[in-house]
């Protein structure tokens, strides 16, 4: 067994302290001396990568520990070998750190397998557990329904001696998978189905990623989860609402095992160097984070990957934290969303646009500006000489002088956005048109004099003249025109692959199949588009994961895997405004 301690997390500026019901409970517990310090934990199962829904739990578990001067463990609930992978463990650790948090100890449920086994022996000796020979199908039949009580198993009244013998033989690997189960003996007539003699151990002869083939039996999640909390001295066990009905079972297990009064169950861990101060945790439930246009089922996320519908767990269309990171979403934007939504017991679906707006807000303050063209049309300034070239100074951020300035090359031939020119302009069009004028960002006013088309009638170039009196420092520099467009020097621009990402699903509730369509049929075919664009040289030199606002286009990030200065690859994080609102979505 091993422990991984991390340095104390760096302090981060906090806004007004949140006053949600969870924090109020913590404040009251501290004020009346129930706890000297706050201990929390974040306990994901390492059977997939974390998604946006986990971000709320991370921010709450780690955030409360930080706010109240306590600590938070990262604990991997690895009780289901065969579906778990060390790759997911490393991904979880990476994602927690990316969101801005550091754990006190890294723990695994498998660290406690010996404690769980000894605790099961104690439950059997105390008459609180028995070995059952019913099959899984028979157990479901005996369990009853929400309106009908369950029935006692015919094996429920085995003696403690027989149960101990059978359980030890289960541990020795004597029996086949699924042939026997250890169950807690509680109440088969309970109105809470979770208390109808739940299974706490099953036989599974599967190699475990941490313990190898040492154990042919594995604890059930509910059993391991609550005892892990108790072993670690967790003061406040924060769970989502679906675990509310499990709380009576957790309390029953913690009370009947009674770790604080039975050090013989766990003293060997302390002797091996584990920090453990067993105590009874208080479970508090809160509503999970549900966003429109998203799914958070690990099974469905895995299906997207396994069926090749996305390009991996970190595909920027995925709502995994790895996918959101690769798309350019910021930890600050995600934390801002969690802060603004607050914590409640009311389940609801949050509009995806709120997440996008939080990310925009964070990116607006933190992103330098650059110019790029993603649908290029050539503009030639005919009254500048062939080979004309100059360097212009641009601000890196219009709202923050501390970002400094940069140099941008300007030449006779430029790339502009194709949508910034219209041969037959619609009403209210204020960009470039025949005989019309527009301001070139940072340069001056140009007038369209000629259109060049290819044999198919497609516009290939627009020829313009530049009003020299409209240039910076000249008397006509303040002359008013209605439109301003951006550009990239055709001579100096760097070609780039640009990936335009959007929402993966085209309906707000893809899981709702009332329209007769399966969730997978709601995948948005426009969620990823590839274009070849042009960047100003300063943008091409970005490091992987450098974020920019491409002026007038949106926020983009240099791809963390594929981007290179000599072959730039940028992902669109989010548009400058909510384009879905325009569509009435």
- Active-site annotation holder among 83, 97, 205, 288: 288
Distance CA 324, CA 331 (A): 10
Residue 53 is labelled as binding a ligand = yes
Distance CA 557, CA 77 (A): 34
Q: Give counts: helices (H), strands (E), the chain.
A: 15, 28
Residue 101 is labelled as binding a ligand = no
Report CA-CA distances (Å) from 504 to 119, 301, 310, 547.
46, 11, 9, 21
DSSP labels for 319-365? -BHHHHHHHT--HHHHHHHHHHH---S---EE-HHHHHHHHHHHHHH
Distance CA 490, CA 460 (A): 14
Residue 347 is labelled as binding a ligand = no
Residue 221 is labelled as binding a ligand = yes
Residue 46 is labelled as binding a ligand = yes
- Active-site annotation holder among 118, 204, 298, 552: 298
Residue 52 is labelled as binding a ligand = yes
Q: Residue 398: left (phi > 0), alpha (psi -120 to 50), or beta?
A: alpha
DSSP at 181: E
Distance CA 264, CA 272 (A): 14
Q: Known catalytic residue: 413?
A: no
Residue 264 is labelled as binding a ligand = no
CB 76 within 8 A of CB 103: no
Query: 3-state secondary structure string, 289-327?
Result: CEECCCCCCHHHHHHHHHCCCCCCCCCCCCCEHHHHHHH
What is the side-by-side strand order in the sheet with 181-184? 129-132, 181-184, 199-203, 217-219
Distance CA 354, CA 509 (A): 16
Distance CA 178, CA 136 (A): 8
Distance CA 77, CA 38 (A): 21
Residue 246 is labelled as binding a ligand = no
Report CA-CA distances (Å) from 40 to 37, 312, 451.
10, 32, 67
Residue 543 is labelled as binding a ligand = no
Q: Known catalytic residue: 423?
A: no
Residue 201 is labelled as binding a ligand = no
Residues β-bridged to residue 466:
446
Residue 522 is labelled as binding a ligand = no
Residue 57 is labelled as binding a ligand = yes
Helix axes 52-67, 331-341, angle to 10 degrees: 80
Short-list 288, 384, 406, CA closest to 344: 288
Q: Known catalytic residue: 180?
A: no
DSSP labels for 23-86? HHHHHHHHHTTS-SS-EEEE---SSS--BHHHHHHHHHHHHHHHHTT-EEEEEE----TTS--H
Residue 225 is labelled as binding a ligand = no
Residue 536 is labelled as binding a ligand = no
- Active-site annotation holder among 23, 39, 41, 45: 45
Residue 240 is labelled as binding a ligand = yes
Binding residues, as ranges, are 45-47, 51-57, 77, 221, 240, 288-289
Binding residues for L-glutamine, as ranges, are 77, 221
Binding residues for ATP, as ranges, are 45-47, 51-57, 240, 288-289
Q: Which residues are catalytic?
A: 45, 288, 298
């Amino acid at each position: 067994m091993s422990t991984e301690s991390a340095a104390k997390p760096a302090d981060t500026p906090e806004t007004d302290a949140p006053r949600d019901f969870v924090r109020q409970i913590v404040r009251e517990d501290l004020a009346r001396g129930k706890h000297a310090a706050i201990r929390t934990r974040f306990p994901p199962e390492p059977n997939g990568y974390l998604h946006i829904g986990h971000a709320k739990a991370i921010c709450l578990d780690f955030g409360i520990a930080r706010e109240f001067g306590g600590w938070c463990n990262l604990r991997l609930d690895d009780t289901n070998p065969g579906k778990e992978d060390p790759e997911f463990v490393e991904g979880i650790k990476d994602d927690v750190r990316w969101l801005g948090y550091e754990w006190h100890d890294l723990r695994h449920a498998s660290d406690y397998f010996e404690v769980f086994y000894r605790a099961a022996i104690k439950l059997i000796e105390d008459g609180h557990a028995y070995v059952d020979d019913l099959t899984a199908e028979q157990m479901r039949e005996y369990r009853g329904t929400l309106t009908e009580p369950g029935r006692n198993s015919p094996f429920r009244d085995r003696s403690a001696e027989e149960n101990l013998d059978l359980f030890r033989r289960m541990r020795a690997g004597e029996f086949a998978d699924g042939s026997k189960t250890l169950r807690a003996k509680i109440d088969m007539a309970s109105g809470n189905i979770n208390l109808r003699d739940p299974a706490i151990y099953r036989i599974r002869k599967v190699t475990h990623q941490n313990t190898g083939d040492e154990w042919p039996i594995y604890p059930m999640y509910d059993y391991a989860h609550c005892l892990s909390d108790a072993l670690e001295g967790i003061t406040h066990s924060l769970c989502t609402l679906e675990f509310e009905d499990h709380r009576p079972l957790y309390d029953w297990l913690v009370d009947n095992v009674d770790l604080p009064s039975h050090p013989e169950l766990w003293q060997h861990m302390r002797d091996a160097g584990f920090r453990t101060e067993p105590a009874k945790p208080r479970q508090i439930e809160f509503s999970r984070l549900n966003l429109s246009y998203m799914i958070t089922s690990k099974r469905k996320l895995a299906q997207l990957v396994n069926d090749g519908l996305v390009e991996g767990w970190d595909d920027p269309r995925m709502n995994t934290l790895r996918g959101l990171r690769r798309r350019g979403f910021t930890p600050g934007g995600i934390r801002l969303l969690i802060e603004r939504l607050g914590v409640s017991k009311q389940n609801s679906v949050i509009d995806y646009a709120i997440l996008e707006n939080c990310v925009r807000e964070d990116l607006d303050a933190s992103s330098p500006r650059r110019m790029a063209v993603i649908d290029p049309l050539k503009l030639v300034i005919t009254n500048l000489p062939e080979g004309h070239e100059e360097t212009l100074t641009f601000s890196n951020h219009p709202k923050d002088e501390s970002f400094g300035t940069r140099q941008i090359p300007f030449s006779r031939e430029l790339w502009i956005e194709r949508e910034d020119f219209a041969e037959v302009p619609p009403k209210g069009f204020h960009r470039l048109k025949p005989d019309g004028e527009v301001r070139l960002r940072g340069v001056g006013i140009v007038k369209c004099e000629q259109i060049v088309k290819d044999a198919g009638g497609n516009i290939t170039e627009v020829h313009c003249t530049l009003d020299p009196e409209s240039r910076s420092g000249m008397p006509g520099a303040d002359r008013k025109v209605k439109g301003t467009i951006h550009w990239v020097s055709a001579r100096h621009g760097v070609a780039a692959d640009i990936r335009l990402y959007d929402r993966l699903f085209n309906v707000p509730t893809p899981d709702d199949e009332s329209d007769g369509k399966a969730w997978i049929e709601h995948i948005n075919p426009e969620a990823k588009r590839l274009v070849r664009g042009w960047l100003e040289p300063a943008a091409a030199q970005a490091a992987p994961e450098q974020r920019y606002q491409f002026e007038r286009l949106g926020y983009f990030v240099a791809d963390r895997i594929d981007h290179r200065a000599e072959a730039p690859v940028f992902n669109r994080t989010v548009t400058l405004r909510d384009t879905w609102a325009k569509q009435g979505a």
